[in-house]
Each structure stands twice: as structure tokens, then as C-alpha cells.
Structure 1
Amino acid sequence: MRCFTVLGPSQTGKSTVVEKLGSLEGAPRKSNSPYGLNLTEFTFGNEPWCALDAPGGNEALVHAQHALLASDACILCVSPAPEEAVLAAPYLRVIEASGTPCILFVNRMDEPRGRLRDVIAALQDYAGHTLLLRQIPIREGDRIVGSCDLISERAWRYREGQTSALIAIPESAAEREHEARTELLEHLSEFDDWLLEELIEDREPPSDALYAISSRILKENKIIPVLIGAASHGNGMMRLMKALRHEAPPVEALRERLARAANIDAGKLAAASFHAYHRQNVGKTVLVRALGEGLKQGASLGSATLGAVQDPANGRSNAPFVPAAGDVFATVKSDHLPVPSLLSSDAAVAPPEWTEASTPMLERILVPGSERDENKLSETLAKLSETDRGLKVRQEEGTGAQLVCTQGPVHLRDLCRTLSDVFHIAVTDRPPSPIYRETISKPSEVHYRHRKQTGGAGQFADVKLSIHPNERGQGFTFGETVKGGVVPRNYIPAVEAGAREAMEKGPLGFEVIDVGVTLTDGQHHTVDSSEYAFRTAAKMGVRQALAEGSAVLMQPVFRSEIHIPSVYSGSLVQIVSALKGQVLGFDRDETAKGWDIFRALVPGGALDELARALRSATQGIGYFSKTFDHFEELYGKEADAIVRAHGAQRAEH
């Protein structure tokens, strides 16, 4: 079986392309994943084929990335509008990072949206590979009625619901065809010395030789050929499928490519797992591409026994199925298989770095509808994070609540639906509590005596403490200058412990940072003094001193790296400034053509708004990663509002 992925921005007709390709020579068989990755099996040219229809939208980009792990080649569907070329930038970035041979298909050419040459030029801004036009449109007025193949120099007229009709190249298209073919041959000659010599000698190369060169350089992933059509009308589908059949590399090339990326022996690479999902009453289902022979139920794969093996598109879970090399199969009761991964009989190897999802930007607390679901929610989220690499799960600081980090609001909605439909856990979501701290702005001194007599041995401790603000980032420090044994040495650690305990919550209600405490004097009682008494005295004394030390609210500031196409860089200065952040600058992204990495310091409370503003300003393309940098003072009405809100939250709990 040969396998390819169809991917691209939303509304570019990917599913229609798959449907039409699958229907060229019979009825396709289709299966769906809850995550939107659809699998279609069909026959073309007496060969079995599998098309992976990756969901559009940047929040689901990770599923397209993983599908490429199992694909001999891919089809990138794009819009015929030049101004929408930027929407394809994330997909070009992923395709080129993966090394997957790609055919770019300009779909919906029946819609007059702009000149094809402008579309290619706009897309080239984001492609490291040369985009090589293989067809040009034939126009009648504003309508595109057919296409010319630049290698065979044959023209085809589209017919609704029928295969295209062979026609002579119209005079109106002859000059453009000659110009485009010359450009095509010049690009091809860069990869073939024979062709270069033919062109220098002004000899016309035969079409068969040109097709062979095109096939070779696509398999070597040196160019991205461009074809055109309108899938909704069936236009260009046969040409696209023939290009895949004759020019896409076989499964052996995929195995070699994956082995090189993972630095393992290709002969030991048996399969690649690329997608997984959970089904009610079934459990975890893993989709796998066989890269060699011998895989069947009970075989060793990934250091354990392979569970039930199924044809994913036949709709019957109990049908016997023994996959051949290149086949895609589903397996249940194989929870030991990580996804995605490269699999040998005795090991599961981590996939290449390009399969990593972008950093999730939306953070939410999931609140279960009932107490009995609290433990179940934690276990279920752990399972889901194993099958969804775009999802990160951790606990909220302070509360221990389940904090999920998703790619965006659509991803969050899908997660909540899966929890409800598959695992019967109803949840609501809320923003996480911002992580604030407090400190003091001036030193103070306190004398605190702890005395308690309740019959029998009492409690006595007397401490004099000096409290002062530390430099930013220095944290808590403790020292002592007592002399003459007024506080016995064995009680001084208890004083420090009490002071640290007082730092857990200051007068504003937050953890206290960057404060130094010095024990300067004190008294003890030979009978009633104890470690507990001195710890209590220190804690109460430090609390009193903090209240007198002019408490200041501290907000977290994060260093953010924002990844965006260069055309959007100018808008980020205004966005960051509006969020009271600090612009640090930007550089060209050396790993992706047409992209910038924009660096800024952003207050933690503004990160949610940054994600929303970034999605809006970049049509959902931009994303950012963040690392904590420092805490800084926050004053005025904003600080007062935060303290009041925090007090209200404590009252509710």
C-alpha cells in the first residue's frame, strides 16, 4: 500500500480532494478519528492507496505533523488567492522540516481570485524549496476552462462530471505556455547535467525523459511541483493522482528517511505509530504504518506483544488482517505503543523533533461536575495527553487543580467533548489563578514574646527580629547576631523555620519573597522554652513586621518567544505595548523561511490576552512559548483590584 497525507489551511477543499481521488477508479472506504484525522483507502492503477486527510486549522497542526510520519508523500492544498498564501506558511514549515516529498495543489481554480503566478510568488516567500509550476490554466475571459501540461505540452479542457478532453493548445495560451515551459526546463536542468547539455545545444528533450527527471527530484525532495484544479468539479484530479503514482517514492524510501532522522538501522525499523484515540467500550486505538513484513496479532512490536490488528477502514473490529509492508492498520490492546514513535520489534524510539507540537498557549482549570470524578479526571487526562501531543497537563500551583494547556479554544472544546462523550466526565473550565507574590519596601524591627501557661510545662520564647527587603531574585535569607546565649544555639533553626513559615502568606494574601530576617536578640526560659515556642514566636513576630513593612504586590513577568510570519511582525510592537510588556527585539527564524522570532517580556496576567491578540492579528498562525523571568512590583488601581479579587476568592473558599 502507498500512503500520502493531504493537508493545508481550512477551507481549501482537502476533504473534497481526498473524496475525488478515492473515487477515480471505484468506491473508497473511509474511517474517522475523533481528532479529525480521516483515513481513506482506495484502489488506483491496480495499487492499494491510503489517504490521510489531516484536519485544517493551526490548533490541529500536530495531527498533520504526525500523519507525515507515515506518509510517502503529501499534497498541500492552498487557496488560489495570493493574499491567503500566508495561511499555508505553517504547513510549508512542517513539510520542509519533515523532509516529506510534497506536491502543491492550487485548488478551487474555478474561483477567479487572482493570477496564478502571484499565488506562486506569495507562497515562495515561505518555501525553502523551489515551487515549480507544472501546469498553467487555460482561460476564457474570467473563467478557467482547462489546463496545459508543461512537460507533455498537451492541453485539456475540463468537463463537468467527466474526464477532461484532450485539445490543442489554444493560441491565447501558447505564448504563456512557452514561457512557463522554458522556466520549468531551466529549473529541472539545475538537477540534471544531461538536460542542461540538451538545453545548451538547443535540443528539445523528450517528454519521457522530463517525467523521469521530475520523478527523481521529487523523490529526492529537491523541489515542490505545483499542479492546479478544482476538486469540487473533479478538475485536475486524474493528473494529480497520476503524479502521485509515478513520482511519489515507495515505502522503502520512507523507512530510510525515518531511520536517518532517528539515527537507527533502517533494517530494524518495523513500523511507525502516528495517531491514537480512545473509543467508548474499546479503549485506546493506535494507527500504525507497517514499514516491513511480519506484523500481525501476537508479533513483537515496541518490546511487547502486538494486540488485535484491524483494517482501519473496513468497519469490522473482528475481521482478520495481516498487514503487508506499507499497509496502515489499527491495533487495540496495544497500550504499550507510544504515539508517535518509530518501532522495532524490541524497542520504541522517540520520533524526530519535527513531530513536536508548538507550545500550547491556552491554559485552563478543568472542574469536574462531581467529587467522584476528581480522581477519574486526573487519570483520564493523563491518558489523553499520551495520545494528544498538543495537550499538556499539570497541577495548578497552590490548589492542585487539574490545569490543561491546549493549542486554543477549539482544541479545548474538543477535549471537553471527549471527556464527556467517551469517559462520561462532565467538566467546566475557568482561567487559572495568576501567580502573584508580595514583598516589603522598607525595613522594620519587631520584638515579640510568646508566653502560654496552661498547667504543667508552659511555652516561652522571646525574639527580637530585624526585617529588610532583599534585592530582586535573592529570595529569603536568614541570619543571626545574638550573643551571650540569650537564645540557645539549638533554638536558632526553629526561629528560621518560623520565619520561613510566615513567608507563606503575607498581609496581602500572597507568598512573600525577597525578604531578609535577622535574629538580633531574645530571651529563653530554662524549663518552658522549646523549639516549638521559638518557631511560633518567630512566625508571629515576622508576620507583625511584614504588616509594618509597607507590603508591595509582585507580578510575574515571562520572557516570551513569539513565532510569526514576517508580514505580521510590525503589529506585535503595538500588541505587546498594549499589554504593558517590553519589546526586546526580533530576529529572522533561521529554521523557517519567511518567519520571525519576536522576543518580549510580558506580565503573567496578560498572557491569556496575548494569545487572543496573537490569534486575531495573525489569523491563528502565530504562537509563542514562555519561560518565567522575574517578579516585578505592581502598584496603583491594578494592584488594588488584584488584592481585592484575591480576598474575595479566599472568602468564597
Structure 2
Amino acid sequence: MRVFTVLGPSQAGKSTLVRAMAGLDKEAGQKLEAAGVVTLQPFSFMGEDWGAIEVAGGAENLAQAGPALAASDAAVVCVPADAEAAVLSAPYLRKVEEAGLPVFLFINRMDQTRDRVADVLAGLQTYCAHHLVLRQVPMREGGQVVGAVDLISERAWSYQDGKPSALVELPDGVRPREVEARGELLEALADFDDQLMEELIEDQEILVKEIYDVATRTLQHSQLIPVFLGAAEHCNGVMRLMKSLRHEAPPVEQALARLSPGGRVVAVGCMGELVKHLGKSVLLRAMNADCSSGTEMAGQAIGGLTMVAKGGNGSLAMGDLGRVVKSDHLRLGQVYLKDGARALPDWAQPRPATYRRLVTPVHQRDEARLSTALERMGEIDPAMEVTQDEATGHALLNLQGPQHLRRVIQTLKAEFGVEVTEDMVPPALRETITKPVEIHHRHRKQSGGAGQFADVVIAIKPLPRGSGVTFDDCVKGGAVPRNYIPSVEAGAREALMQGTNGHPVVDVAITLKDGKHHSVDSSDYAFRMAGKAAVREALGEAGLVLLQPIVKVAIHVPSVFSGNLVPMVSGMKGQILGFEAEQDAAGWDLFETLLPMAAQDELCSALASATRGTAWFQSGFDHYEEARRGDFGAK
């Protein structure tokens, strides 16, 4: 079975293209869907079994593309025939180039465009490190695209609505453009083939078969990206694309070599879902050996396996797709060895999950069920990270965006019967002092029996940001016995856990300077209470101020939108550090800034708006700084 992934921006016509490809031989199988984001369409074409994995458009859904691409022999990037919309394709072109897969570019809806193909191609080339080469040029009548000319065979095809294109004579008006474009194609191919270069220089006749052979090699080595034209809604250009996939896409052995140079990978999971009353279902592709129910995979035997192409139980040959149930040890986002599993390569990993939300069950009795449900969901959704919020103890979801959150909440209710509410994550505020203070505190208690006595003199002073909390002593003459000093420190640190505004106190130095003890009534407990009370009293006099966490944010953004980020970040009270072109991503900038952590949620939505959903970011804690007037109600 041969497998390819179709991806591209929203509204580019990906589903229509897959449907048209699957309908060429009228033998399409049952479509499989996972999480409303990824679908598999099995079908037959010219006697071969195929699987088309479609990833829904949208920045949040791109996280699901990694496993699909890892299991594929090639990728098809479907883009609209709109020069101004070229930037919307940038994230998908970047993803497939990082993956190193052979890529076919399909410019869709050619029947509706008024733009020149050269302009559309120039816009796309901005975001492609590989050279894009036209394999076809359009034929127009009255400004409308009515067909295309294949630049290798030099055959002209007239589009027919809902039918295969008809072979026609090459119109005289198209011939000059065809000759020019064919020359550009041959020159691009000749850069990777010395014999073809020699034949071009010597003006020799070049055989069509030779050109196809060179085109196939450059595609399989990911040296060039061929560009095809069509209108999937009318089945125009679909046959040409499908035939190119059939003849030029590499065999499964190349996908195996990309994932496992040593060849130890048995299979790779490409889709996963949770099915009510059935459990976890993983769609996997056999990569290196036949697989069947009971096959040892990832250290355990797999459960029931259903073949995708032919249906029913059976054995998957190398390259085949199958659906596995009752195999809870299989996680998405991994390649499976016989005796274990390992993570997919870096290029297949999802983007950082920067959209954060706290989720709590509507019914308290569902606390344990929620924890179990989130753990199960994480096994088939590598784009979701689940942690625990330190302040509240509630489950903290790190997701790709609001749509991702909605899918998670819907799955929790539909598959696990757990209803939840979601809340924003409160900022991890801190407090610190502004001036040094010295406090003398005596803890004394007598109520029958052994008493309590501890006398301490404690000094506290502010430290530079990021210094944390330090404790030392300069007690002389045994005024406070050495064995009680750790108790004083424990009490002092306990007092710092909550300042006057209810937040931990940081960046202070505490020094035990003097004290007194009683030979009978002094104890570890008494000195702990004395240390705690002394520090609390000192905090009340030391001028506490509120600190907010600042994160360093690296925004990956198409260069055309970089200017939009300056006013956006300034409006969030951020500090711009600068931006520069990304070395490994054509047409992209890396924009760095410092932002209050509280602005991270706002950044998610504002960035999507300012960059039309193309940019993404990663962030990490940098430092604390004093909150300005009006922030978080600070006074």
C-alpha cells in the first residue's frame, strides 16, 4: 500500500482533491476520521492500494501532521490559485521541507483564478527553500483557464467538467510560453544531472523518458518540488497529479530509512482516537515486516488488527495500513520497535503548546475520572500536555489553541462522560521587600507543664532579582544553640511562603543575628515559631511590592507580517528584543520579545489575527519584575 499526506491552508480544497483522487477508479474504501482533524481515505488506482491522509487546515491542526507525514511516502500540499494568499501556505511548506519528504505542490481552483501562474508561484517560492518547478502551464481562453500543457511530454489537455481531460492539439498562442517554461524546467533538472546538462549545452534532442527519470530522482531526493495545476472540484488535473504520484513517489523503504537508518522500526502510528465502549484505536503502518494480531510491538503483543485496504482481519504486509484496538501500550507520536518505542524525529513533533487553561470537573465526584481521561487522551494526542497547577492543584492543559480546547472538552463529555469548566491560568505573582529591616521577637508560652521559649533577632534585606532566598547566621557565644538554628530557618522560610498579598516572597536575605534560649523551655518548635513570627513582622515593615513573571518569547513569523508585531507587542507592555531572518526557513523571521506572563493568552489570539494564523511562538520564564501601577490591581 502506498501512502501520502495532503495538507494545506483552510479552504484550499484539500477534501475535494482527496475525493477526486479516490474517485478516479471508482474504488474508494471507507473513510476513517480521528478527532475531527485527520482523515484517511483508502482507495485503489490502476491496480494498486493507496491511502490518502488528509490533515485539516488551520495552525492548531498542523500539530497532527507529524505522525501522518512520518508514515507517508510523499506529501501533497494543496494551495489556492491566489497570489495574495501564498503566505497562508507558508506553515505547510515549512513543515514538509523540515520533514524531508518528497513533495508535490498542487495549485487548486485554476478555473477561478485571474492571477498569473508566475505570480502565484513567485509568492509561494518566497516560503520555500527548494526550487519550485512548473510541470504544467495553463491554457486560457478569454482569461479563463481551460486546460494545461504537460511540459515533459508536451501534450495539451483540455479540461472537461467531471471527466478526464481530453487530449488536444497544442494551441499556437500557448506554444511560446510552453517553450519558455519547458526550458526553465530542463535547466532546473539539469542542475542535478550531468548528462542532461551536457545535452542541453550541446543542443541535443532529449528523450521524454530521460526527463521523467531525472524528475523522479530529484523528487525522491527532495531536491526540487514539482508544481501541478488543476481544479479538483471538476476533477481537472487530478489524473495527472495521481499518475505522477504513482510513477515518482518513492517506495516505503525510503520512509523506513528516514525514520530508522538501522531498520529496527516495525511500525509507526499515524492516527489515533478513543472509541466509546471500545477504547483506544491506533492506525499504524507496517514499516519493516508483516504485522498481525499478536505481533510483538513496543514490547507487548498487539490486540485486534483490521486491514484498511481490504477490510477484515489479516496480516499487514510492509507498507500496509491497519487499525489496532486493545493495545493500550501504543501511543501516538512514536515509532514502534519490537521491544520498545521511541519518539518521532524532531520535525514530526508538534509546536509548543502555549495555550493554557485550567479545567475542573463540574461534579466533584469526577475528579479521579478526569485525571484518567486526560491521561488516556494524551496517549493519542501528542499536541496536548497535561500538568498540575501549583497554586490551585487543578489540571493544567497546554494546548495548541481554542479550537483544540473545544475538541478536548467535547471528547471528555462524549467519550468519558466528564463535564468540565475551563478557566484562565492566574499569573504566578511574587512579592519582595524594598528596604532592610531588623526585628527582635520573643516567643514565650506557659500553660502548665513544659513551656515554650525562644528569643531571636532577625534581619532581612532585599536581594537582586532572581537571587531567591538566602539564610545565614552570625550568632556568637551560643546565644542560640547550633541545633536550634535550622528550626529558625525553617520557620523563616515558612513565613515567606505567603506575603501580605497572599503570594510567595522572593529575593530576600535573612540573617539570624542574636537571640536567647532557656535550658528547659526552649525547643525546635519554639524557635521555629519565633523565626516564623519574626519574619512575618519584618515583612509588614519592609515595604512589600508585587512582582510579575516575565517570559521570553520567540515568535516564528512570515517576514511579511514582522512589522505587524511591533505595535501588537508594545500594546501588551512588552519589550522588543529584535528580530532576524531564520536561517533554516525561507521567508520567515524570528521575532524575540519579553512579555508579562499574564499577556500570553492575549498573545495567542492577537498573533493569530495579526498574521492570519500563520505564526507561532515558544516561551519560557525569564525573570520577575515589579508590577506597574494598575497591573493585577497593584497599588
TM-score band by shorter chain is over 0.9
Mapped pair 1:130 → 2:126 = no
Aligned Cα root-mean-square deviation (Å): 1.5
Query: How far has the Cα of 1:112 moved from its partner?
Result: 1.9
Task: Tell me the percent identity.
Answer: 48
Instruction: Name the stretch that deviates more: 570-579 or 222-231.
Output: 570-579
Alpha-carbon distance in 2 for matches of 1:230, 1:308: 40
Aligned partners of 1:224 and 1:421: how far apart in 2? 42
Gaps of 5+ in 1: 644-653
In 2, Cα distance between equivalents of 1:321 and 1:56: 34
Q: Secondary structure at the match of 1:636?
A: coil
Kept in 1, the 8 Å contact 2:426–2:598? The answer is: no
Query: Which residue of structure 1 lines up, in the alignment, with residue 536 of structure 2?
Result: 543
**Contact 2:432/2:505, CA 8 A, preserved across alignment:** yes
| Residues 369-448 of structure 1 mapped to structure 2, 5 A cutoff | 369-448=362-441
- For 2:26, the equivalent position in structure 1 comes to 26
User: Which one is further off, 341-350 or 589-598?
Assistant: 341-350
Shift of 1:231: 0.4
Q: For 1:456-495, list aligned pairs within 5 A.
A: 456-495=449-488
1:560 alignment partner, SS class: strand
Instruction: Give distance in 1, aligned partners of 2:74 and 2:459.
Output: 70
Q: Deviation at 1:47?
A: 0.9
Tell me the CA shift for residue 485 of structure 1: 2.6
Residue aligning to 1:647 = none
- The residue identity in structure 2 corresponding to 1:221 is S
Task: From the superposition, tell whether residues 330 and 642 of structure 1 become closer, same or farther in structure 2 (CA, over 3 Å).
Answer: farther
Structural mapping, 1:609-648, within 5 Å? 609-639=602-632, 641-642=633-634
Q: Distance in 2 between matches of 1:387 and 1:163?
A: 40
Aligned to 1:650: none
**SS in structure 2 of the partner of residue 499 of structure 1:** helix
Match of 2:266 among 262, 265, 270: 270
Out of 260, 279, 285, which is 2:281 matched to?
285
Alpha carbons of structure 1 residues 519 and 90: separation in structure 2 relative to 1, 3 Å: same
Deviations 1:491-515 (A, max 9, x none): 2211111111110011121100011
Q: Report the Cα distance in structure 2 between the residues aligned to 1:170 and 1:642, rounded to whole angstroms.
A: 75
Q: Which residue of 2 aligns with 1:294?
A: 290
* Structure 1 residue 535: Cα displacement: 0.9
101-110 or 139-148: which moved more? Answer: 139-148
**Does 2:153 align with 1:157?**
no
The residue aligned with 1:310 is 306
Amino acid across the alignment from 1:18: V
TM-score w.r.t. length of structure 1: 0.95
Q: Partner letter of residue 286 of structure 1? A: V
The CA distance in 1 between the partners of 2:259 and 2:523, in whole Å, is: 66
CA deviation profile, 1:363-418 (whole Å, cap 9, x unmatched): 00001111111111112212212211111110011221100011001111111111
Deviations 1:199-234 (A, max 9, x none): 122223122221222122212221100000000111
Would the aligned equivalents of 1:101 and 1:224 in 2 still touch at CA under 8 Å? yes
CA contact (8 A) 1:552 1:635 kept: no
Secondary structure, counterpart of 2:281 in structure 1: strand
Give how far 1:345 is off.
Answer: 2.3
**Equivalence for 1:568:** 561
**How far apart are the structure 2 equivalents of 1:594 and 1:19?**
32
- Structure 1 CA distance, aligned partners of 2:186 and 2:515? 92
The equivalent of 1:649 in structure 2 is none
SS, match of residue 446 in structure 1: strand
Task: Letter of the 2:220 partner, please give it.
Answer: K
Letter in 2 for 1:283: G
Asked if the contact 1:438–1:510 (Cα under 8 Å) also holds between the matched residues in 2, the reply is: yes
The residue number in structure 1 matching 2:17 is: 17
User: How many Å apart are 1:142 and its aligned residue?
Assistant: 2.4
* Whole-angstrom CA distance in 2 between matches of 1:574 and 1:394: 33
Q: What is the one-letter code of the residue matched to 1:25?
A: D
Deviation at 1:113, TM superposition (A): 4.2
Provide TM-score, normalisation by structure 2: 0.97
**Pairwise CA distance, 1:587:** 2.4
Whether the 8 Å contact between 2:114 and 2:143 is mirrored in structure 1 is: no
Q: Deviations over 1:584-639 (max 9, x none)?
A: 11222122111111111111111111222111111111111111111111232325
Residue 349 (1) aligns with residue 342 (2): yes
Q: Which residue of the partner structure matches residue 79 of structure 1?
A: 80
Instruction: Return the letter of the residue paired with 1:593.
Output: A
Q: CA deviation at 1:256?
A: 2.1
Instruction: State how 1:97-246 maps to structure 2 within 5 Å.
Output: 97-246=98-247
Whole-angstrom CA distance in 1 between matches of 2:466 and 2:354: 26
Counterpart Cα distance in 1 of 2:527 and 2:231: 81
The 5 Å alignment of 1:520-535 reads 520-535=513-528
Secondary structure of 2:21 counterpart:
helix
CA contact (8 A) 1:302 1:336 kept: yes
Q: For residues 470 and 330 of structure 1, what CA distance do their matches in structure 2 show?
A: 59
Secondary structure at the aligned position of 1:76 is classed as strand
Deviations along 1:243-299, one digit per CA (max 9) or x if unpaired, are: 111111111222222223xxxx22x33222222211111111111111234211111
| Total equivalences in the alignment | 634
Paired residues of 1:21 and 1:238 also in contact (CA < 8 A):
yes
